[in-house]
Structure 1
């Protein structure tokens, strides 16, 4: 290559070297040679028929093949190389849609994703293959499986599209009712209740799973508070249900409908029917727990109206259900709920000490360390629920010292929960640093358990509460990444963004607030987050992005608490980009739409400054006068007063110059009324005094001595001893005295 000067020959030879290395399975060396080709011969690549697109594709293949080559012996390196390949494929797919290599790129990209165990990323890449073989007998099953894979991966919109495509393409398939039911489940997870209902209602009544679908349908109607429709769906399904398990579930769900309607008597009756059917254990236990809870709610209502006798009966009925439930040895979570309701019922009956003693006796009477731990936890939570945080902390710490075989049958370890209670009790006592240490200890001990996400979130919350924003930002970032399904994730995202903002890492903060808005549509934080996206971009001096953010806020929450501030910041974002017409328009909108905003006088004043700077003095004067009229008590009013005076001088000087042209042309007949008009229009200005002076001079020239003296006298009286008027006063005095002495 070095000995030949023909660049085309050099390029072809370079390609040959790369191809030979690839054939010899020297993939990384081959990639290097291709990169040399791209850098050294990019200008002739098109001419020899091996352009940049092809080279990038071959480089990607090199990395992918090397990844496959080392996959068994070095999985981490394999992932790294395949990821490089995938990035290149993605780049190629984003660059061209018409290249002949697109099918190869699609296939290789899909295969690379599979090597990385990312089936969800491979789905859209393989979709074309499915489309091309639509008439194949396996196509319906294949398409349905694609939908199920998407559903399992929480790619719900994609799943919806595939399910819908299935129904459109294969309306008579034996799988149609299965597809309709699964489409309904997809809409349910998408929280698109109306579409889920529509999908379920298309399921044919003759299908064997139709009664089960009606239970799902009733759940959705309950969510919409359309209880009559929920009851109708369950009633129809009860006529078709042919086993006690399903019938018990239906009675259980119907009871929940009654409960949601505050029809506690109906709920208690339906749960009783479910219990009477001797249903499977889980329905029986849930019905006992729910009916006991309903009795508890009835008792509270009876208490509220002073019917303590009936309330006592209802509380006792609740306790009986809870005790019956506990005798059935329910799952840990149900058992905990039963014990809590039992304790709460005792407290409602005025038996607080008995409740505490009850748990303590259970602890003392038990020889099982596991059971002792369960009761200790319940006692701890009883104190916490009663907001006795000191006692809750005390018993939680005792639990940490207990020796027992901890397990997470309840969804969390008891000692893990104890750490959480101690930390939250300390938070309630505003002992933030100590709380952060406790949460950190719990998280270190239980990094991947049921309570781990809450520990992680609470640790960050404690840190931000005592102002350690750097640590808090790290904690919240770790939390949102590691626990994406935790109920507190939305709050973690919110506090992550605020931590970054407090650290003046504005670009990162803007990105975090953006993710909050995009991930949690219509959330409680959306309006504030939209505003703070703009604020952080503004502070980062990314003014174009700030404009977009402020406009997004104003489009959705124009009359919200951030409207005026966002409008003002939008205007200044335009100013910073020297887009003054848009800036003035934004400030005019602020004054018009947010006249009571603290920024309105500032905006009005700034509009005046704009007109002043472009020498549109009439508009500037009018704008400053509006400041004085609309906001007389604002800080801007005093500044506006000064500028109004200054503009008066400017305008007066223009008129004065025109009058002086007449004077210098000795057109005194026109000069006199022009000077008199200045005196009338601009009282209190320096120009007024100059006009009096020159009016006197006209009369002096035309030998109208008395009128001259009169005008000079006015100058002396109005000019006084002010230094800025000294020249005209001196001139007037000198001329007046000469006339008096020599002509009068």
Structure 2
């Protein structure tokens, strides 16, 4: 008996169409529609471009538009028309529904001018629409060559490029801003972003340091001076110039708040690198005391113990490693590897130095039992080291 494949295929095809229709209706249901009317200085405007995401519509001769298939939730709708400044409107789109662009269903565009266009540009930048703010900045600089807002627009253009990750272009624009308009209200902002372009963006750490110094020297009243000291410290640290880094971090501490917190942590690590272990131990302890729930508190607690150990103060180190184990049992290094096994191993070393061999032996056994796959921060096996210590102590303890 032959199998009736045509019938089977027809059934499957029908089922497929039903499922497809269901999926399409579900997709449509997730979208909404925005309607409205756009006015200009002389009444309704025809030909206004209305867009959001990939959806675009144009107003008719009555100024009306219908923007369909708009994703549900809070959306920004952009309006543009020749002779008028751009406008954006926030609207809450409800899936499967048609919503008005505003309470009265209308939007009014302002005539294009240096101030009106700048206001739109600022809105784009502040709302992080950096691609749009960059392109609008370019148009503004061509359109309003004599405007006294040119320096501000240059900053927005350079900053937009920075946040888009185009650091070379950003650097060029911000350099022009600082050189041509050093007294502009946004020049210090530009100087700060220029330093970040060179450092975090392009890894040109020495050049970044010079720009941070320019900021501190040329704009001593700037709100960015504190963070400039801190980030300059980071640059020096990356360059392994720990003495200079410590000086920068120490200056940054004065500014308090988040900058002080980060600077204490950075300064403590500098002292550790410089083998000033008493200072590093004290600062790591201060950090944990002030910020016990911070993301780096587990790391700081470990390095307090490591600092005391390097000073041969094994009792202080033992107490610090105990705190690391008990207070931060789930703490991890930057790569997700647990810190606790390393703290336990170092606790064992402290106990050995203090002549408490049986206790040390038990700690090494506990590491193997609790953390059979334990690793050091660099990913190498910690278990092998624990097993080695066990073998060394076996004859003494057993």
1:527 to 244, 250, 261: 261
Structure 1, residues 677-703: CA drift from partner, whole Å, max 9, x if none? xxxxxxxxxxxxxxxxxxxxxxxxxxx
Cα 1:596/1:386, change in 2 over 3 Å: closer
Matches within 5 A, 1:106-255: none
In the other structure, the counterpart of 2:324 is: 590
Give the whole-Å Cα distance in 1 for the aligned partners of 2:304 and 2:77: 60
Give the CA deviation at 1:563. 1.9
Change in Cα spacing, 1:374 to 1:600, as seen in structure 2 (3 Å) is: same
Distance 1:350 1:567, change over 3 A: closer
Q: Is the 8 A contact 1:393 1:425 kept in 2?
A: yes
How high is the TM-score relative to the length of structure 1? 0.36
Residue 577 (structure 1) shift = 2.0
Stretches of structure 1 that go unaligned for 5 or more consecutive residues are 1-305, 320-347, 364-371, 408-413, 653-744
* Residue of structure 2 in register with 1:495 after alignment: 231
1:685-700 equivalences in 2 (<5 Å): none
Partner of 1:438: 173
1:638–1:481 Cα change, 3 Å: same
Task: Verify the 8 A CA contact 1:574 1:580 in the aligned structure 2.
Answer: yes
Counterparts of 1:551 and 1:349, CA distance in 2: 48
CA contact (8 A) 2:348 2:363 kept: yes
For the residue of structure 2 that corresponds to 1:524, the secondary structure is helix
Deviation per CA, 1:711-730: give whole Å up to 9, x if none: xxxxxxxxxxxxxxxxxxxx
- Give the 3 Å change call, closer, same or farther, for CA 524–477 of structure 1 in structure 2: same
Task: Tell me what 2:138 maps to.
Answer: 397
For residue 568 of structure 1, the aligned residue among 279, 302, 312 is 302
Indicate the residue corresponding to 2:50 in structure 1: none
1:514 to 221, 238, 250: 250
Give 1:386 deviation, angstroms: 6.4
- How many angstroms apart in 1 are the aligned matches of 2:342 and 2:132? 55
User: Quick check: 1:539 aligned with 2:265?
Assistant: no
Give yes or no for contact 1:422–1:438 (8 Å, CA) kept in 2: yes
Structure 2 residue runs of 5 or longer lacking an equivalent are 1-31, 42-74, 87-109, 332-337, 375-380
- For 1:377, the equivalent position in structure 2 comes to 118
User: Deviation string for 1:340-398 (max 9, x for gaps)?
Assistant: xxxxxxxx9967125x64238845xxxxxxxx544553454455456554453344334
For the Cα contact (< 8 Å) 1:528–1:562, is it kept in 2? no
Q: Please say if residues 550 and 570 of structure 1, whose CA atoms lie closer than 8 Å, have aligned partners that are also in contact.
A: yes
Q: 2:85 aligns to what SS in structure 1? A: helix
Q: How far has the Cα of 1:406 moved from its partner?
A: 4.9
Aligned to 1:198: none
Residue 349 (structure 2) pairs with residue 609 (structure 1): yes
**Structure 1 residue 453 displacement after superposition:** 0.9
Work out the CA distance in 2 between the residues paired with 1:395 and 1:651: 76
Distance 1:554 1:636 in 2: 25
Higher RCO, 1 vs 2 (CA within 8 Å, ≥6 residues apart): 2
Match of 2:387 in 1: 641
Q: Does 1:359 align with 2:105?
A: no
Specify the SS of the correspondent of 1:537. Answer: helix
Structure 1 residues 644 and 489, CA gap change in structure 2 (3 angstroms)? same
3-state secondary structure, aligned to 1:358: coil
> Would you say the 8 A contact 1:476–1:496 is kept in 2?
yes
1:57-78 deviations in Å (ceiling 9; x for gaps): xxxxxxxxxxxxxxxxxxxxxx
Secondary structure, aligned partner of 2:183: coil
Q: Superposed, which structure 2 residues align to 1:282-681 within 5 Å?
A: 352-354=79-81, 357-359=83-85, 362-363=111-112, 372-378=113-119, 380-381=121-122, 384=125, 389-401=130-142, 405-407=146-148, 414-464=149-199, 465-520=201-256, 523-597=257-331, 598-613=338-353, 615-634=355-374, 635-652=381-398
Question: Contact 1:627/1:636 (CA < 8 Å) preserved in 2?
Answer: no
In the alignment, the residues of structure 2 paired with residue 349 and residue 633 of structure 1 have an alpha-carbon distance, to the nearest angstrom, of 50
2: CA distance, partners of 1:383 / 1:585: 54
The number of residues matched between the two structures is: 296
Secondary structure (helix, strand or coil) at the match of 2:258 reads: coil
Please identify runs of 4+ aligned residues in structure 1 that moved more than 6 A. Answer: 348-351
Distance 1:431 1:615, change over 3 A: same
Structure 1 residues 77-108: Cα deviation after superposition (integer angstroms, max 9, x where no partner): xxxxxxxxxxxxxxxxxxxxxxxxxxxxxxxx
On the 8 A contact 1:557/1:563 being kept in 2, the answer is yes
Relative to structure 1, the CA distance from residue 549 to residue 388 in structure 2 (aligned partners, 3 Å threshold; closer, same or farther) is closer
**In 1, Cα distance between the equivalents of 2:359 and 2:259?**
41
Query: Contact (CA 8 Å) 1:373, 1:404: kept in 2 or not?
Result: no
Q: Which residue of 2 aligns with 1:300?
A: none
State the alpha-carbon separation in 2 of the partners of residues 349 and 558 from structure 1.
Answer: 41
CA distance in structure 1 between the aligned counterparts of 2:272 and 2:78, rounded to whole angstroms: 59
SS at match of 1:433: helix
Q: Whose Rg is larger?
A: 1
Q: In 1, Cα distance between the equivalents of 2:132 and 2:77?
A: 19
CA distance in 2, matches of 1:621, 1:394: 67
How high is the TM-score relative to the length of structure 2?
Answer: 0.64
1:550: Cα distance to partner?
0.7
Indicate if the aligned counterparts of 2:227 and 2:252 stay in contact, CA closer than 8 A.
Answer: no
* Matched position secondary structure for 1:485: coil
Deviation at residue 404 of structure 1 after TM alignment: 5.6
